Amino acid sequence: MENPQDAIAHAPLPTAKTLRFRRNIPVQIWRFVAINIKMLNMIRKGHNQK
Amino acid sequence: MARVLILGAGIAGHTAALHAKRLLGKKNEIIVVAPNSNYNWIPSNIWVGVGKMYKEQVIFPLAPIYKRKKIEFHQGLAKSIYPEGDSKTASPFVEIAYTDPNRSNEFARIKYDYLVNATGPKLNFAATQGLGPEGHTVSVCTAGHAVEAAASLKDAISLMKLGKNQTLAIGVGHGTCTCEGAAFEYTFNVDHELRMAGVRDMADLVYITNEYELGDFGVGGMVFTQRGFQTTSKLWTESLFRERGVRAILGAHVEKVETGKIFYEQVDGNKNVLEFDFAMLLPPFRGVDLAAFNKSGEDISSQIFAPSGFMKVDADYSGKPYEDWKAEDWPSTYRNPTYPNMFAVGIAFAPPHQISKPRKSPNGTVIAPSPPRTGMPSGIMGKLSILTIADLINKGSDAKAHSASMAKMGAACVASSGSGLTKGSAAAMTMFPIVPDFQKYPNTGRSLKDTYGEIGLSGHWIKLLLHYLFIYKAKARPGWAFIPE
B86 touches A: beta carbon within 8 Å: no
CATH class of B3-123+287-360+371-395: alpha beta
Q: Which of A39, A40, A45, A50 to mutate to test the interface with B (most CBs of B within 10 A)?
A: A39
Contact B212 A39 (CB under 8 A): no
Contact A35 B484 (CB under 8 A): no
Q: Which of A43, A44, A48, A50 to mutate to test the interface with B (most CBs of B within 10 A)?
A: A43
Give chain B positions within 8 Å (CB) of A8: 214, 238, 241-242, 246-248
* Strand B72-82 versus strand B93-98 pairing type: antiparallel
B301 touches A: beta carbon within 8 Å: no
Alpha-carbon torsion A9, A5, B238, A27, what sign? negative
**CA distances in angstroms from B114 to B117, B374, B386, listed in the order given:** 10, 23, 10
**CA distances in angstroms from B296 to B108, B208, B339, listed in the order given:** 19, 48, 16
What ipTM does the predicted assembly reach? 0.93
B248 touches A: beta carbon within 8 Å: yes
Residue B206 pairs with which residues in a beta bridge? Answer: B169, B247
**CA distances in angstroms from B199 to B1, B196, B357, listed in the order given:** 62, 8, 38
Contact A46 B458 (CB under 8 A): no
Compute the C-alpha angle B147/B195/B188, nearest 5°.
60
For chain A, what is the domain count? Answer: 1
In a domain, A39, yes or no: yes
By Cβ distance, the residue of B238, B380, B462 closest to A46 is B380
Residue B27 amino acid letter: K
Residues 6 or more apart from B346 whose CB is under 8 A from it?
Answer: B8, B10, B11, B12, B13, B118, B120, B373, B374, B377, B378, B381, B382
Angle, helices B143-161 vs B180-196, to 10°: value is 40
Chain B from 202 to 221: CB within 8 A of any A CB: 212, 214
Contact B461 A32 (CB under 8 A): yes
In a domain, A3, yes or no: no
pLDDT at B16: 97
Contact B412 A43 (CB under 8 A): yes
**Does residue B436 register a pLDDT over 60?**
yes
In a domain, A2, yes or no: no
**Residue numbers of the domain that contains A20:** 14-47
Contact B238 A22 (CB under 8 A): no
Contact A41 B247 (CB under 8 A): no
- The 10 Å Cβ neighbour count of residue B317 is 15
Chain B from 351 to 390: CB within 8 A of any A CB: 376-377, 380
- Helices marked H in B366-434: 376-395
Residue B77 pairs with which residues in a beta bridge? Answer: B97
B273 touches A: beta carbon within 8 Å: no
Rg of chain A, C-alpha, whole Å: 17
**Does residue B356 register a pLDDT over 70?**
yes
Classify residue B433 as left (phi > 0), alpha (psi -120 to 50) or beta: beta
pLDDT at A47: 62
Q: What is the tens place of the pLDDT at every residue in A1-50?
A: 778 999 999 999 999 999 999 999 999 999 999 999 988 887 777 665 65
Contact B248 A8 (CB under 8 A): yes
Alpha-carbon torsion B351, B353, B358, B362, what sign? positive
Give chain A positions within 8 Å (CB) of B412: 38-39, 42-43
- The 10 Å Cβ neighbour count of residue B144 is 16
pLDDT at A39: 86
Contact B241 A50 (CB under 8 A): no
By Cβ distance, the residue of B268, B332, B432 closest to A42 is B432
In a domain, A20, yes or no: yes
Q: What number is the average pLDDT over the span B353-359?
A: 95
Q: What number is the average pLDDT over the span B39-52?
A: 96
Give chain A positions within 8 Å (CB) of B415: none
Cα–Cα dist B150/B48, whole Å: 7
**Does residue B243 register a pLDDT over 80?**
yes
Q: What is the tens place of the pLDDT at every residue in B142-194?
A: 999 999 999 999 999 999 999 999 999 999 999 999 989 999 999 999 999 99
Residues 6 or more apart from B339 whose CB is under 8 A from it?
Answer: B83, B84, B92, B304
Q: Which of A15, A19, A23 to mutate to test the interface with B (most CBs of B within 10 A)?
A: A23
- The 10 Å Cβ neighbour count of residue B6 is 31
Contact B404 A46 (CB under 8 A): yes
**How many residues does the structure list for chain A?**
50
Give chain B positions within 8 Å (CB) of A6: none
Give chain B positions within 8 Å (CB) of A5: 247-248
Q: What are phi and psi of B23, to 5 degrees?
A: -90, -25
Cα–Cα dist B241/B245, whole Å: 6
Q: Which of B12, B10, B5, B59 is nearest to B32 (CA)?
A: B5
pLDDT at A46: 64
Q: What is the tens place of the pLDDT at every residue in B58-88?
A: 999 999 999 999 999 999 999 999 999 999 9
Q: Are B265 and B365 in contact (CB under 8 A)?
A: yes
Question: What is the SS3 assignment for B42?
Answer: helix
Cα–Cα dist B431/B219, whole Å: 10
**Does residue B132 register a pLDDT over 60?**
yes
Give chain B positions within 8 Å (CB) of A22: 425, 455-457
Q: Which of B242, B332, B408 to mutate to test the interface with A (most CBs of A within 10 A)?
A: B242
Residue B120 amino acid letter: G
Give chain B positions within 8 Å (CB) of A28: 456-458, 461
By Cβ distance, the residue of B212, B242, B484 closest to A8 is B242
Q: What number is the average pLDDT over the span B359-371?
A: 95
Cα–Cα dist B407/A50, whole Å: 12
Chain A from 29 to 48: CB within 8 A of any B CB: 29, 31-32, 35-36, 38-43, 45-47
Number of helices (H) and strands (E) in chain A: give both, helices first.
3, 0
Cα–Cα dist B207/B294, whole Å: 46
- In this predicted structure, which of B340-354, B449-463, B467-481 has the lowest mean pLDDT? B449-463
